[in-house]
Amino acid sequence: MVKTIARDELVKMRAADQKVKVVDVLPRESYEQEHIQGAISLPLGEIDENAAGLLNKEETIVVYCASFECQASTKAAEKLQALGYKKALDYKGGLKDYKEGNLPLEGSLHQGTGKAACAAC
Active site residues: 65
Residue 107 identity (one-letter amino acid) = G
**Cα atoms in the 13 Å half-sphere on the side-chain side of 121:** 26
> What does DSSP say about strands 88-91 and 60-64: parallel, antiparallel, or unpaired?
parallel
Give the angle subtended at the CA of 14 by the CAs of 13 and 16, to the nearest 5°.
65
Residue 92 main-chain phi, psi, to 5 deg: -65, -30
> What does DSSP say about strands 105-106 and 35-36: parallel, antiparallel, or unpaired?
antiparallel
> What does DSSP say about strands 88-91 and 20-24: parallel, antiparallel, or unpaired?
unpaired
